[in-house]
Structure 1
Amino acid sequence: MSTQFDQVSVVKKSNVYFDGKCVSHNIIFADGSKKSVGVIFPSTLKFNTGAPEIMEVVSGVCKVRLAGEQEWKTYSAGDQFSIVGDSSFDIETVETLDYVCSFG
């Protein structure tokens, strides 16, 4: 897993969700693709998706339940999970989670 992204543009204004429990910044690659890089502070949240997403856990541990599933799955540093477009997922963190989200 790469520890940095080179030659990208960073949107200076942060994305703040759930009263500050999730904070991210959008990065744009030379080819126009976008990712967000952020943190989720200890909490249980429900995210809705428009486009398909791939969430990569950089550090920390989380439990995730995808829409329509009963079981929670645990993910930690180096793991990733996919969410289909126009869907949702629940995420629970007990420590600060660093993540990268890829869209599309």
Structure 2
Amino acid sequence: MLISNMEILPGKEVKTHLGLVQGSSVRAKHVGRDIMAGLKNIFGGELKGYTELLQESRDEAMERMKQQAESIGANAILNVRFSTSSVAQGAAEIYVYGSAVILE
């Protein structure tokens, strides 16, 4: 499955546009990560626990989008975009979406 944030790909032609595909993941903060984040707020530095949490969420959302595209027969997803939102105290959603297509 080819996944790109570009609308068109040089040397490739969109044969069929199959529509919007999407994936999301909602994750809550972990108490242990909150403690380390509190210390980092005092001393400074990267919040690695949160970085890992967001990377896991992005990976999961991308995989869900990819599965949806495969289920409708796409071989590529173009114009991919990410969005985030807070859904509850201490929980955030990563949302990814794009256009499922068949490329020649």
**TM-score, normalised to structure 2's length?**
0.27
Which one has more relative contact order, counting CA pairs under 8 Å at least 6 apart?
A: 2
Structure with higher Rg: it is 2
Write 1 or 2 for the structure with the bigger share of helix. 2
| TM-score, with structure 1 as normaliser | 0.27
- Write 1 or 2 for the structure with the bigger share of strand: 1
